[in-house]
Amino acid sequence: MFIAHTIAELRAHLAAFEHPAFVPTMGNLHEGHLALVRQAKPLGDVTVASIFVNRLQFLPHEDFDSYPRTWDSDCAQLQAAGCDVLFAPNERELYPEPQTFKVLPTPALADLLEGQFRPGFFGGVATVVLKMFGCVFSEAKGRRTAVFGQKDYQQLMVIRRMVQQFALPIDVVAGPTRRADDGLALSSRNGYLSPAERAEAVQLSKALQAMAASLRAGATDIPALEAHAMEALRTRGWAPDYLVARRRSDLLPPEAVDEPLVLLGAARLGSTRLIDNLEV
């Protein structure tokens, strides 16, 4: 696996290829990331992953400083998954001067749900992803593919919209959420959980499954369903931000329950904030 720490090294190396398939990450890799790398492999003639903990997408009180940096294990895992190129710039390389030009996703998509509870998050994500695209795809000659996990459902939608609205010649491909044996969605932040919290954490996915079961059983009062799911988690000691049923097309509240829906949840367990989603 070739490791590039600078944009120049990355571009020089990628000049020999035509169709990069790219998986951006913030490191602390787990099976969910590695599955994206394996999914990306047949989609291009060179598989590129990035590791960059992007300060722009963290609020001041969030875990930028403590976000786990696990370089040796990340490199070994990427190599074993068949990654060809790892782009790992430092902050000086990617943001040599304050990033005064930013992507500003406008309402409604970027201001609801995650955007409401993490203001500025999607602007930070879109800015770094656009910049990464510029680094990774500048030498590409044909098909360009970027693979994002469906676990970050709203992020995936924001990236798809950015690519569409800026007419970027990039195929955005979704990778299914990978789960632990008990059903907990894999996430780097699961590592923050104590053993007791880890045992409890699956309840977020169970709450979404319970909502899905109620919808399948004919429930039509979505606000009541959402309130019930929030209360169920609260009584178990969680602090939920939202558990909602939304339209898959734009993440707004549905007008009818027979529209294609996605259930999305975000909740804090102790000091760890977890998210999950389920299409119904």
Q: How many residues bind ligand PAF (CB under 6 A)?
A: 10
Residue of 74, 84, 152, 226 interacting with ligand PAF (CB under 6 A): 152
Q: Please report whether residue 54 would count as binding ligand PAF according to CB under 6 A.
A: yes
- Considering only residues 56 to 75 of the shown chain, the ones binding ligand PAF according to CB under 6 A are 57
* Residue 16 DSSP one-character state: T
Residue of 10, 34, 94, 128 interacting with ligand PAF (CB under 6 A): 128
Contact 86, 51 (CB under 8 A): yes
Q: Please report whether residue 25 would count as binding ligand PAF according to CB under 6 A.
A: yes
Q: Please report whether residue 78 would count as binding ligand PAF according to CB under 6 A.
A: no
By beta-carbon proximity to ligand PAF, the closer residue of 84 and 114 is 114
**Which burial class, exposed, middle or buried, applies to 1 when counting CB atoms under 10 A from its CB (0-12, 13-18, 19+)?**
middle
* H/E run at residue 272: strand 272-279
Catalytic residue among 30, 33, 61, 228: 33
Nearest to 276 by CA among 266, 268, 180: 266
The answer to whether the bond into 108 is cis (omega within 30° of 0) is yes
The pair phi, psi for residue 278, each rounded to 5°, is: -150, 120
* Closest separation in Å from C-beta 2 to ligand PAF: 20
Asked if 61 is an active-site residue, the reply is no
Q: Please report whether residue 214 would count as binding ligand PAF according to CB under 6 A.
A: no
User: How many angstroms separate the CA atoms of 36 and 191, rounded?
Assistant: 20
User: How many angstroms separate the CA atoms of 221 and 239, rounded?
Assistant: 23
Greatest extent of the chain over all pairs of C-alpha atoms, in Å: 57
Q: Please report whether residue 136 would count as binding ligand PAF according to CB under 6 A.
A: no
Q: Please report whether residue 147 would count as binding ligand PAF according to CB under 6 A.
A: no
- Considering only residues 154 to 183 of the shown chain, the ones binding ligand PAF according to CB under 6 A are 155
Looking at 23-31, 106-114, 174-182, 253-261, which segment touches ligand PAF (CB under 6 A)?
Answer: 23-31
Contact 50, 75 (CB under 8 A): no
Alpha carbon 87 to its chain centroid, in Å, reads: 18
> In DSSP terms, which residues pair with 273 in a beta bridge?
268
Alpha carbon 274 to its chain centroid, in Å, reads: 12
Looking at 20-28, 86-94, 105-113, 239-247, which segment touches ligand PAF (CB under 6 A)?
Answer: 20-28
By beta-carbon proximity to ligand PAF, the closer residue of 152 and 276 is 152
Quick one: tokens of 96? Answer: 């040599």
Residue of 125, 157, 211, 230 interacting with ligand PAF (CB under 6 A): 125
Q: Please report whether residue 26 would count as binding ligand PAF according to CB under 6 A.
A: yes
By beta-carbon proximity to ligand PAF, the closer residue of 51 and 229 is 51
Q: Please report whether residue 24 would count as binding ligand PAF according to CB under 6 A.
A: yes
Q: Please report whether residue 129 would count as binding ligand PAF according to CB under 6 A.
A: yes
* Closest separation in Å from C-beta 62 to ligand PAF: 12
Q: Give the pairing type, strands 46-51 and 171-175.
A: unpaired
User: How many angstroms separate the CA atoms of 177 and 158, rounded?
Assistant: 17
Which residues here bind ligand PAF, judged by CB under 6 A? 24-26, 54, 57, 125, 128-129, 152, 155
Catalytic residue numbers read 33
